[in-house]
């Protein structure tokens, strides 16, 4: 089975993050960026071949923000917080932490 990877990188300071694929919740965790490795967390989601709708909801004390992206199996979605605003990059899984 193929996968889509979601990598949570810099800017996280204890936010609750919820990841959905095609409307189904697949990951939920409170995350904090580890400065030594510039990464908060990551998950690999098993999916069938084809394109899938991936949502990442970031919940803070000030409310929540959701970003969505279409991703094919074998892709990696990298999410960072820049001044509290989610930034997303979709790359090939073998591209490293894009």
Tens of pLDDT, residue by residue over 2-37, are: 999 999 999 999 999 999 999 999 999 999 999 999
Confidence band (pLDDT; 50, 70, 90) for 93? low
- 3-state secondary structure at position 55: strand
Q: How many residues does the chain have?
A: 98
Q: Look at residue 29 in the predicted model and tell me its pLDDT.
A: 96
Radius of gyration of the chain (CA): 13
* Count of structural domains within the chain: 1
pLDDT at 94: 63
pTM: 0.88
Which structural domain range is residue 36 located in? 2-83
Q: Are 49 and 2 in contact (CB under 8 A)?
A: yes
Note the pLDDT tens digit of each residue in 45-85.
999 999 999 999 999 878 889 999 988 888 999 999 988 88
Q: In this structure, is residue 33 part of a structural domain?
A: yes
CATH number, domain of 34, equals: 2.60.40.10
Helix (H, G, I), strand (E, B) or coil at 92: strand
């Amino acid at each position: 089975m193929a996968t889509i990877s979601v990598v949570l990188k810099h800017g996280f300071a204890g936010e609750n993050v919820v990841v959905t694929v095609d409307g189904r919740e697949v990951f939920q965790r409170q995350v904090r960026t580890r400065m030594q490795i510039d990464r908060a967390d990551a998950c690999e989601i098993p999916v069938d071949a084809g394109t899938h709708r991936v949502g990442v909801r970031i919940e803070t004390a000030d409310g929540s923000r959701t970003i969505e992206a279409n991703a094919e199996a074998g892709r990696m979605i990298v999410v960072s917080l820049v001044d509290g605003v989610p930034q997303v990059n979709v790359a090939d899984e073998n591209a490293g932490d894009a």
